Structure 1
Amino acid sequence: MNSPQPSFFDQPRAVWAVAFACVIAFMGIGLVDPILKPIADELGASPSQVSLLFTSYMAVMGVAMLITGVVSSRIGAKHTLLVGLALIIVFATLAGASDSIGAIVGFRAGWGLGNALFIATALSTIVMAARGSTAQAVILFEAALGLGIAMGPIVGGQLGSISWRAPFFGVAVLMTIALVATAVFLPRTPVAARRTSIVEPFKALRHRGLLTIALTALFYNMGFFTLLAFTPFPLAMSASQVGWVFFGWGILLAITSVWTAPALQRRFGTVPSVMGALSLFALDLMMMAVFTDSRAVLVLGVVLAGAFLGVNNTLITEAVMGAAPVERPVASAAYSFVRFSGGAIAPYAAGRLGEEVSIHAPFWMGAAAVLVGLAILTAGRGHLSGLPAPGAHSRREAEALAAADAA
């Protein structure tokens, strides 16, 4: 008798509690996007100065990823998640109460520390606690990511139309709800039997497959955060309008993360699907570079980018889990440390290029960075032979059903 496969939506309450917290955590990425220009106008800051809200956040998050495994292996996953959420609440509140761009940038750095502790631990927690395959768990995580990124600009835009401070306070309130849900529904997690070391993520990067994926992600994240941090300035829209534009981007990202990416992987395999998405994203940024003066083209470019980033995010995150023979939290920390460097560099570089060269230059930089990522993936694809090929999910599902029948 065939045993039915677990439904994607049939998950323990603990998984949904962590997924809900992920949605709120990922809102922090797009939340400030609609209020970048209002902050610049009210505090007398330049685009490059305001872009430091992304740079400090991403730089600290990337470095802090190196300690996530060290912390969680000593205090347990649940306590690590709760500490991360508490830090986000504190620093989001402080950022909203600040009166200078320097203070907001500093408190965003603290926010990044909290996000690092939460996000890296949340992925491994969902993978371990979810019913079904690792691929399904990653899709659930990426769906939370996409939904959070989609909601972030809406929340930021609507609250930002009241005051640029309101989105920060709004996140603090939502994170408090997420903290309570995680504390109540996630069972106590035991401390790891083996304590990890801070050097393990660096050792993991000696595996060529993981290094290839991480470097690819570093450069495509430069394109991603160029789009995120600079586009609001040439768009020259209100906070609410920018929020709706990036809401469309986030919705498309969520849809392609959950449905399109697995379909492409079954049809073409992981690496060809990522290569195709990177190529289309680079072309999208080139279009925005050529037609930066056209608001309609910028809006179209932003929304289309969501489709390409959704495919990349899901397939690359799943690939990280099997790219090196190391524990999942260690692989996630190593990968995140490298990829978030791109998110730290690009916003400030894009702002300076927009100020000192032209409004077209940031998008050309983003497109070039994505093409570098594509070249790295192409050169290193031989080290990724263990990743799913066309039809791999179908074969794995058939094997799982056959094993269930035999049992």
Structure 2
Amino acid sequence: MQTIYDESCKCSCGASGWINTSTTVSCTDYSVNADLSTGEQYYLFPINGNNLFSIGFVSGFWMSNLAIGNGTGWSIISRVNTFVRLDGFLNRSPVATTLPIIYKEVNVQQTHFVQISDGDGSDILRCRWAVGTTNNTNVYDECGGICHGIPGAILSSNNCSLTFTLNRSSIYYAVALQIEDYYLSTSSSPMSSVPIQFLIYSYVASGGCGIPPAIIGTRSNQACITTSVGSFITESVIAEVYCPGQTINEFLTVSPLGMQQSSIQNITSNLYQINLTWTPTANQLGPQSFCAAALDNTNISSDQWCITFLVGFNSPDLIRPSLIQGAVSPVGTIFANRSLFTAMSRFLHNRYGGCKDTLSVDPKLDGQQYRLVIWDSMNKFNSDHDILELCKLLAPHKLIYLTIYIIDL
């Protein structure tokens, strides 16, 4: 294990006040060229139920090459909730993932998505700007000197997309966000609050072709793959270049703990690939995300590409990834904003051609991975459409009222 940071964070656990805990982590990814490293670690702490408390990493200092916040202190705060939810379960906090540095061209409108997910499939997830006062969920300064670090940026709360134009070149912009989960869309207060902070570097496009590379392959961006603990996972990340003389020098990545990646392979004249292998462990239950960007020989980066593994879920595995309803095809509930997805059950609302009804997974078909059995009663009209569309996963309703329909077709 390589330690990439050895400091302490602070935990405000009820009446006990602020206490220090270790932030030593195992290195999962690094880049010599970008001068960055990332890591994660799992710790188990006994915590009393029916409690709200905050975890904070408050120290210093930010780099000097920031558009806003040069040399100011860090403040990263998370809110934990151990109260039992209305559905009888303990809450699972959201998970947010992005590359630590995003490369974007100056004076061009850009959009960046933060990958967000939640093990509680019915929760409503929302993004917001971190707040530099105590008037927030955490009741503490959430962003230190980098609050609203991109002037004029617009944040979409529902899908955690950031739209912005960088007006200064060769400089870093800091972004500080909080992702929060709500039990219902009408809930006024979140159950928990998770921070994510990252940098965006602005560059001036070089002359010539100027087309950035793109990550392509068998998985769509923001796809979700269900898997079990202890299973051996292999994935490929493929980048394509479009300009003469353009090559891929590096893949910038953020990986789950334990994931391994191969060296870059030049599989054709314009395609470059890395292979991933990973065996998830029992303490990695729930969403685990991997993100990557391809960096070419002129230091131009592709857009971020992410996939999420839902560890501990069984997959219907009925189709290969493909476009579905303007989104992508993770196995789970598909949201049109392409950044929220969950898997809750083995029963799915679907459309295939002119057929529309509910599907379930039949273990007797395990040896026939891509077989789909359709009853005559499911055929509503004739159609040549041959993509299986997963419209919705069935899950128990939290509350049932006589005035609310519980059959959804």
Instruction: Give the alignment's TM-score, normalised by structure 2.
Output: 0.28
Q: TM-score, normalised by structure 1?
A: 0.28
> Whose strand proportion is higher, 1 or 2?
2
Higher helix share: 1
Structure number with greater CO (CA < 8 Å, separation at least 6) is: 1
Larger radius of gyration: 2
